[in-house]
Amino acid sequence: MASTIEDVAARAGVSTATVSRAMRGLDGVSKRSRDKVLEAARELGYVVSPTAQALATGHTGMIAVIVPTFNEWFSANVLEGAQRRLQSAGRLTAVLSASAVRGRPDYDVDVVSLRRRIDGVVNVSLPLTDEETREVAGLGVPVIAVGNPSPPFASVSLADREAGRIATRHLVNLGHRVIAYISGSRDELEPNTPGGQRLEGWRDVLVEEGLEHGPDLVVNSFFDVRGGHDAVLELLERRPDVTAVFAAADMIATGAMVALSEYGLRVPEDISIIGVDGDDTDPWVQLTTVVQDPAEMGAMAADLLLQIIGGGAVPEMTLVHGRLRPGRTTARPRDPEAADASPRRPPRR
Amino acid sequence: MASTIEDVAARAGVSTATVSRAMRGLDGVSKRSRDKVLEAARELGYVVSPTAQALATGHTGMIAVIVPTFNEWFSANVLEGAQRRLQSAGRLTAVLSASAVRGRPDYDVDVVSLRRRIDGVVNVSLPLTDEETREVAGLGVPVIAVGNPSPPFASVSLADREAGRIATRHLVNLGHRVIAYISGSRDELEPNTPGGQRLEGWRDVLVEEGLEHGPDLVVNSFFDVRGGHDAVLELLERRPDVTAVFAAADMIATGAMVALSEYGLRVPEDISIIGVDGDDTDPWVQLTTVVQDPAEMGAMAADLLLQIIGGGAVPEMTLVHGRLRPGRTTARPRDPEAADASPRRPPRR
DNA sequence: CTGTTAGCGCTTTCAC
DNA sequence: GTGAAAGCGCTAACAG
């Protein structure tokens, strides 16, 4: 069943070297030989042994994609996009997940298991420790980061600061004057993280407009639905006069909306909310958001990797533009003038 | 940097054969030799070349997991569970996705790309065509299906019929008498699919109770939120007297609840609804559901595969029990007697 | 218990 | 344009 290169060579009446060249489409093979080889291979159902090929060349044809967890919109779609692109380039995708436990730093990125097995790595939004960075670099293969820039590796990510500007600009244009920003955990607001960059974008616009942008209006919590929920409650306590919220992600926005509803506030009548991502978590809500396309980013990462492997050079940082997608969760503020004057209903619970 | 078995052998003052044995923990090696080898390997930072090992043994140490798409609760969690288990067994997980396009039959399962690369396959709920089944079987490695039983391969799946009984029994116990079943596409209701089995479970209980279980009470649509939405509208048109709905999946239940709310019906006051899965799509809803654990199923599939690879035998079909998780979406029917008499409010849109 | 040696299936000089 | 032959790094008899 499993025929070898020798079988093909014998059948085609040529040497194994010629079969090897012909099968890989190298030139320096006469059309006649090539045809004979291809014909013989077809008849025998011959497929090159990737294993033997790898041993001989040192290239495995395999790319590893590392994700924090598979069950998450961004990672899953980056993986999807990367895997498709890699597959059509004739490569297999191996996967590694770091931790199923959200928010816990005890990742278990088993980098060693990748040694000598792969030709490149795509790291999807997993913040690497210095130790891990060294380990990954020690694999001796090119690495591309997606989502989080993670030096010294090249990266593909959303133009986060710009996304923050787009979102905030949208709210300002609608007439909002007191605009809050809610985001993931405090740790995430370091300047080089997506959350931190989106914060910068928010600030950019508010500064430009001469609007308030103090720490009062920034709330950090966890990067999930529950986090958004809690963040917005904290926000309302601090600043009951807020009329619009920019959430660093759609999940956060979703949690925020739940909390607002519990609080007795309507969206967008009483308060506007905008997110980032465009995952269609709940298509019925029609959240206004800044859309990004992780599958496309995964495909781009794959391309970059293949390019490096092919000996090319690639930009250190590839930024992908987000796009405003207006939904039903943002509107003009109800009564800009009297906003502070009319007290809101107290929480129902 | 990349030292070979010969380097280690030289350093340890033994032959490569001894190094090979020692590294793999085979017995027939003196403690003294073993220690010397391990020591030398450590000093050199030596890692066995999986490629060379594969070429020599015929085993690649790699398992492929095939999913319809990565961005879906069940698949993602099976993958997560399987990958973890495989990793701790020292194996790498390769992935293949079939189609990003839901509901389209033009899968592109590139089975050929797996030839000679893997030791086994886990197929996650991807219905295989006969052709594909032949191709996969032609890989010459063991296969385990998860989610959908898919002969002739062994499978791990939810005890779907039982899950249907659990859900329906719960509704009956609450006092419901007119209980509908809504599910995925018509194609899915063939007896051997999850949807079909859950239908059987529904019927089992209703027959047992002498309650109505005709085709009027069964609505098929698509296996997603939109599908649940549309299905429930169709149902209410056909049977305005229904007081409880068993949805074949939580996503379907979610869509159904949206439709009910649009229709002006409250859950669970006016109508009860129960699903299957226990994905926490929206933790705020607290959907009553029959929970399954796909990560655990993925781990089980991995174990079975490893067992077969190790020369063992495994059961043709492994059924995992679902567990009722009461939430806030089921309750006693409001007024069992007068249900038919009091007409409901018409749709608001 | 340990070493020798012949592969595993392909690629790649180096000659012709 | 083609072939012979030497690896790639490891495992698995087979001797000893």
Considering the domain boundaries, does residue A346 fall inside one? no
Q: Which helix (H) or strand (E) holds A146?
A: strand A143-146
Name the average pLDDT for chain A: 91
Count of helices and strands (H, E) across chain A: 11, 12
pLDDT at position B191 is: 82
Q: Tell me, in Å, how far CA of A288 is from C1' of C5?
A: 71
Q: Give the pLDDT of chain B (349 residues) as one tens digit per residue.
A: 589 999 999 999 999 999 999 999 998 899 999 999 999 999 999 999 999 999 999 999 999 999 999 999 999 999 999 999 999 999 999 999 986 444 454 556 789 899 999 999 999 999 888 889 999 999 999 999 999 989 899 999 999 999 999 999 999 999 999 999 999 876 657 888 899 999 999 999 999 999 999 999 999 988 888 899 999 999 999 999 999 999 999 999 999 999 999 889 999 999 999 999 999 877 788 999 999 999 999 999 999 999 999 999 999 999 999 999 999 999 999 865 554 444 455 544 3
Residue B284's pLDDT is what?
A: 81
Q: Which of residues 58-117 of A touch B (CB under 8 A)?
A: 60, 62, 69-73, 76-77, 79-80, 83-84, 87, 90, 92-97, 100, 110, 112-117
Would residue B348 count as lying in a domain?
no
Same domain, A150 and A9: yes
Q: Is B183 exposed, middle or buried (0-12, 13-18, 19+ CB in 10 A)?
A: buried
Q: Determine whether the interchain pair B80/A70 forms a contact, defined as Cβ–Cβ distance below 8 Å.
A: yes
Same domain, A274 and A305: no
Residue among A29, A61, A284 at smallest CA distance from A12: A29
B298 and B225 assigned to the same domain? no
Q: Do B308 and B190 fall within a single domain? A: no
Q: Are B120 and B305 in contact (CB under 8 A)?
A: yes
Q: What is the mean pLDDT of residues A77-94?
A: 96
Q: Do A82 and A104 belong together in one domain?
A: yes
Does residue A18 sit in the same domain as residue A48?
Answer: yes
Taking contacts as CB-CB distances below 8 angstroms, the residues of chain B near A226 are 283
pLDDT tens for each residue of A9-34: 999 999 999 999 999 999 889 999 99
Task: With CB atoms and an 8 Å threshold, state whether A282 touches B283.
Answer: no
For residues A292 and B74, give the distance between their C-alpha atoms in angstroms, rounded to a whole number: 24
Per-residue pLDDT, A101: 44
Range of the domain at A88: 5-157+293-321
Residues 6+ apart with CB under 8 A from A134: none
Q: Following DSSP, what letter does each residue of B263-287 receive, concatenated? A: HT--TTTT-EEEEEE---S-TTT--
Buried residues in A252-276 as b, exposed as e (16+ CB within 10 A)? bbbbbbbbbeebebebbebbbbbbb
Q: For A102-161, write each residue's pLDDT tens digit.
A: 445 455 688 989 999 999 999 999 988 888 999 999 999 999 999 998 989 999 999 999
Q: Does residue B349 lie in a domain region?
A: no
For range A337-347, the mean pLDDT: 49
- Tell whether A286 is within 8 A of chain B (Cβ): no
Predicted confidence (pLDDT) per residue in A221-270, tens digit: 888 888 999 999 999 999 999 999 999 999 999 999 999 998 899 999 99
- Measured CA to CA, the distance from residue B113 to residue B121 in angstroms comes to 13
Residue whose C-alpha is closest to residue A70's, from B72, B298, B108: B72
Please tell me whether residues B116 and B183 are part of one structural domain: no
Q: Is the dihedral of CA B141, B142, B144, B148 positive or negative?
A: positive
Please check the confidence at residue A95 and state whether its pLDDT lies above 50.
yes
Yes or no: say if A258 and A247 are a contact pair by the CB < 8 Å rule: no
Residues of A in contact with B225 (CB under 8 A): 282-284
Q: In what order do the strands lie in the sheet with A218-220?
A: A218-220, A179-183, A244-247, A272-277, A288-291, A323-325
Task: Read off the DSSP letter of residue A191.
Answer: T
Judged by CB atoms closer than 8 Å, whether chains meet at B79 and A93 is answered as no
CA of B106 to C1' of D8 (A): 40
B contact test, residue of A71, A83, A233 with most B CBs within 10 A: A71
Q: What is the percent of chain A with per-residue pLDDT over 90, rounded to a whole number?
A: 80
Residues B18 and B138 in one domain: yes
Residue B244 lies in a domain: yes
B109 CB burial (10 A radius; 0-12, 13-18, 19+) = buried
Instruction: Note the pLDDT of residue B2.
Output: 81
Asked whether residue B177 falls in the same domain as residue B123, the answer is: no
What's the CATH code of the domain at A248?
A: 3.40.50.2300
Domain count, chain A: 2
Distance, CA of A184 to CA of A161 (rounded, Å) = 15
Same domain, A110 and A184: no
- Distances in whole angstroms, Cα of residue B113 to Cα of each of A48, A212, A235, B134: 10, 57, 53, 15
What is the predicted pLDDT for the residue at A1? 59
Beta strand A272-277 pairing with B288-291: unpaired
Among partner residues A51, A60, A110, which is closest to B116 by beta-carbon distance?
A51
Is residue B347 in a domain? no
Query: What's the CA gap between B156 and B161, in Å, rounded?
Result: 14
